[in-house]
Structure 1
Amino acid sequence: MGTSSSLFNQALLHINNTDIQRTLKSLTTSLLQSLNDSSNDVSVYEPNPFLGFNEASNRNAQAKALILVDGGEDLQNIPFHPLLQANRKVDIIFAIDSSADTPTRWPNGTSMVATYQRNSNSSKIANGTAFPSIPDQNTFINLGLNGGPVFFGCDPSNKTGKSTAPLIVYIPNNPYTYMSNISTLVLEINDTERNELVLNGYNVATMGNSTEWGICIGCAIISRSLHRTHTSVPSACVDCFNQYCWNGTVNATTPKIYEPRQKIQ
């Protein structure tokens, strides 16, 4: 299930942190504030479809309306949580990260870190769901983990929670053929930019149409099955896991401004 609302409150925060003319800032802030205060910035499901459901653990069981906001507002731009429920027995998640985390609007793993931290505290809403161990954002940049695909959770025991965590195939936005770090607040682009963004997205997902990457995707998909059945890992998969699995190394020193270059000219 998906839902959509608006971006007014995030726009308001952006305006308040942007150096624009005082009069324009005042007018824009006033407009956005009125929209935000009138609750037009949320998705309201009324009646609440979960009214009276599972009262022991559902904190919204008695609410007449279910009110939702964007999950990215607590930094979880990648919607992991529904897929982490133990009953679903999910083996693998492809995590596409197009976040604008850095000052240059590229991802630095913040969404991954946020979900890991949420799942590390079983007393909160995560409710003991399992998630692979994730390093800090500085490590993502310093070790190039935001510069291409990475597998997290190759060692099934290195995780939060009691259940088995899925393998995460983390695929961050990168400039393969186009500088695709456009701002969230850019609400209109022309056809040429649109086509370049779509082509770049294709190259991000396929690593420039790489055959080897296709093989490694297959290895990632069967990884948990191999572990459950105690099956020997095929040699091709050993090479893939050596290349793409995060090995637990951490480098939390403050990195330079992240400015990636276009990978394919």
Structure 2
Amino acid sequence: MKFLLEFLYLLNIFFSTYSLGQGQTYAPQNADCPATSLIRTAGTVASGNQALGAKESLYIEERRKKAVPEAYREYWRNVESSVRRNRARLPEYVKSILLGPSDHLPRVSGALSGGGLRASFVGAGILNALDGRNQTSASRGTGGLLQAMDYLTGLSGGACLVMSMSQANFPGIYDLTLGSIIDETEGWLADMDFVAPAGLNRILENPIFLDTKWWSTLGFQVSQKALAGFDVTESIRSYSQPFPIITSVAESPGQGPIVQRGDAVPLSNNQYEFNMYESGSWDPNLASFIDTAYLGSSLENGQPSKAKGCVNQFDNLGFLVAASSNIFRKYDAFATLFQPKSYRPFLPALKGVLSLIPNPFYGLGTAEYLDRKSKTLSLMDGSFGGGNIPFAPLLVPAREVDVIVAFDAINITQPTIFGCDEPEVPLVIYIPNSPPTDGSATATNLPTASLEVSQYRALSLIEGGTKLATRGISNDPIWSGCLACALVDRSRGRLEVQRQGLCSDCFQRYCFHSV
């Protein structure tokens, strides 16, 4: 057993330096520091100076100019056709907003929860339901919304989905997860038993996308790019995919003793986010970011060490997704749940493992920034700091998000709209992993600690997720219309138009009303 653990550890290191071609590896290395500052101060809401990074701001601006208007036109055609087939009609303002000038278009984003392979595959089904390239989704009136989103965030299992989709050039869900002959990819290798010799050989033979410090138990093969940094794919160059973000939380020195049930750190600990341009935290005690390409550089008060200089190629995507989905700080909660049982004997050796990154914010921030005097960031699963859905990046006022379509892999009863009468915050369209309305066996109830999924089960999970996002409450025939009403509601409010007709009815049925 000791030999196996040592072998798996070395195997993980091997993947961190996986050869991308003859004479090329992707692993941390010393590099010249840029002439410009490595750290960007993001500002705070209280100071009135919160701002996006220049590259992110440009991406969103160009996306909303070049891709989003046509996406909404296509989405409108789909939803109008679906609603009319069910003998209903949307208020005129829905059409005028979706087909109107760009400054009236909704600012919609998606958030994908954690929950292991269940979150990855069922979340993939959710995105499939919103993908205009899927003809079934288009005919149901939900397809096309994915193409119109500004941002897509994920943590843990959701982070695997978000980053693999982004770096695979934003393919259709079935090509991404199950493989594509055209693109010569095998999809996600979630059916691989890496404990068996055949599984180890398959790992060695294939470039895979590492999820967590589970020593390759979840293999997400997309391309060799998954073991490199963020690649500027064609879909990024053309601004045709939502801006991807993943999150993680840190265990910090001096943190408070009060930890919510199910969490591993207090709510006061910092939330960190990683995107293709920057990594850092919007929390007001830090509000700083480093260029993701130089993540891993040892800085003090924002300046590189003269002795060490800068580091690049630390932004290995497998490692960053691992930082978002590392569950081993809470190993005890999962120890008896891992499936198959053959994994359990060696898992105790991983108890407490954290994803460690040199702290680029050493010496920065306010006195309330707990990692201010720590030279290492100790990162873990993004859900261990107070929430299983990555809302935090989408609640940043500078991002101006109107609506969040949130998928929660936890089993809750029905879709709900939150914030219906609170225009100062984003509206949340909450789509939980609810059971089938006909009382049949739940197709999306895979245990969080499952480490293998057969292709047949994967397909079932994806199809189950697609149904979750297209059925509403009790297979509501006009759910697609209600979804459209929610998407335009913040724009409607800014135009000072009253809710009308079908939209009024939808908000009565789907809005959360506190007692």
Output the TM-score relative to the length of structure 2. Answer: 0.33
Map of 1:213 onto structure 2 = 479
Matched, 1:14 2:334: yes
Q: CA deviation at 1:55?
A: 4.3
Amino acid of the structure 1 residue aligned with 2:356: V
User: How far apart, in 1, do the equivalents of 2:364 and 2:487 lie?
Assistant: 34
Distance 1:51 1:237, change over 3 A: farther
Map of 2:375 onto structure 1 = 64
Amino acid of the structure 2 residue aligned with 1:13: A
The count of aligned residue pairs is 187
Map of 2:457 onto structure 1 = 193
Distance 1:45 1:169, change over 3 A: same
What secondary structure sits across from 1:206 in the alignment? helix
Matched, 1:42 2:308: no
Given that 2:402 and 2:425 are in contact with CA atoms closer than 8 Å, whether structure 1 keeps it comes out as yes
Q: Aligned runs of 1:37-186 on 2, under 5 Å?
A: 37=352, 41-46=353-358, 48-51=359-362, 54-55=365-366, 58-99=369-410, 106=411, 146-156=412-422, 164-176=424-436, 178-186=442-450
Amino acid of the structure 2 residue aligned with 1:8: F
What secondary structure sits across from 1:205 in the alignment? helix
Deviations 1:124-150 (A, max 9, x none): xxxxxxxxxxxxxxxxxxxxxx32210
User: How far apart, in 2, do the equivalents of 1:14 and 1:182 lie?
Assistant: 14
Given that 1:84 and 1:166 are in contact with CA atoms closer than 8 Å, whether structure 2 keeps it comes out as yes
User: How far apart, in 2, do the equivalents of 1:74 and 1:212 lie?
Assistant: 37
Amino acid of the structure 2 residue aligned with 1:222: V
Q: CA deviation at 1:17?
A: 9.1
User: How far apart, in 1, do the equivalents of 2:401 and 2:367 lie?
Assistant: 25
Distance 1:216 1:50, change over 3 A: farther
Deviations 1:88-107 (A, max 9, x none): 222111111102xxxxxx2x
Distance 1:17 1:98, change over 3 A: closer
Task: Supply the RMSD in Å over aligned alpha carbons.
Answer: 3.2
Amino acid of the structure 2 residue aligned with 1:166: P
Given that 1:53 and 1:61 are in contact with CA atoms closer than 8 Å, whether structure 2 keeps it comes out as yes
What secondary structure sits across from 2:480 in the alignment? helix
Amino acid of the structure 2 residue aligned with 1:15: A
What secondary structure sits across from 1:77 in the alignment? coil
Distance 1:17 1:222, change over 3 A: closer
What secondary structure sits across from 1:63 in the alignment? coil
Distance 1:50 1:221, change over 3 A: farther
What secondary structure sits across from 2:465 in the alignment? helix
Amino acid of the structure 1 residue aligned with 2:389: I
Select 1:4's aligned residue among 304, 322, 328: 322
What secondary structure sits across from 2:428 in the alignment? strand
User: How far apart, in 2, do the equivalents of 1:221 and 1:49 lie?
Assistant: 38
User: How far apart, in 1, do the equivalents of 2:479 and 2:355 lie?
Assistant: 39
Q: CA deviation at 1:51?
A: 4.4
Identity %: 34
What secondary structure sits across from 2:451 in the alignment? coil
Distance 1:221 1:11, change over 3 A: same
What secondary structure sits across from 1:4 in the alignment? helix
Distance 1:231 1:78, change over 3 A: same
User: How far apart, in 2, do the equivalents of 1:70 and 1:9 lie?
Assistant: 8
User: How far apart, in 2, do the equivalents of 1:96 and 1:16 lie?
Assistant: 27
User: How far apart, in 2, do the equivalents of 1:196 and 1:17 lie?
Assistant: 21
Unaligned 5+ segments in structure 1 are: 19-23, 100-105, 107-145, 158-163, 250-265
Given that 1:175 and 1:200 are in contact with CA atoms closer than 8 Å, whether structure 2 keeps it comes out as no
Unaligned 5+ segments in structure 2 are: 1-244, 247-320
Distance 1:235 1:17, change over 3 A: closer
RCO comparison, higher one (Cα < 8 Å, 6+): 2
Amino acid of the structure 1 residue aligned with 2:354: V
User: How far apart, in 2, do the equivalents of 1:16 and 1:175 lie?
Assistant: 25
User: How far apart, in 1, do the equivalents of 2:497 and 2:371 lie?
Assistant: 44
User: How far apart, in 1, do the equivalents of 2:405 and 2:362 lie?
Assistant: 32
User: How far apart, in 1, do the equivalents of 2:416 and 2:491 lie?
Assistant: 19
User: How far apart, in 1, do the equivalents of 2:462 and 2:480 lie?
Assistant: 19
What secondary structure sits across from 1:182 in the alignment? coil
User: How far apart, in 1, do the equivalents of 2:362 and 2:495 lie?
Assistant: 41
Q: CA deviation at 1:179?
A: 3.0
Given that 1:11 and 1:185 are in contact with CA atoms closer than 8 Å, whether structure 2 keeps it comes out as no
What secondary structure sits across from 2:394 in the alignment? helix
Q: CA deviation at 1:52?
A: 5.2
Matched, 1:202 2:466: yes
What secondary structure sits across from 1:155 in the alignment? coil
Given that 1:152 and 1:246 are in contact with CA atoms closer than 8 Å, whether structure 2 keeps it comes out as yes
Distance 1:16 1:213, change over 3 A: closer
User: How far apart, in 2, do the equivalents of 1:94 and 1:73 lie?
Assistant: 21
User: How far apart, in 2, do the equivalents of 1:168 and 1:182 lie?
Assistant: 25
Higher Rg: 2
Deviations 1:30-58 (A, max 9, x none): x5444234xxx322222x34445554775
Distance 1:188 1:242, change over 3 A: same
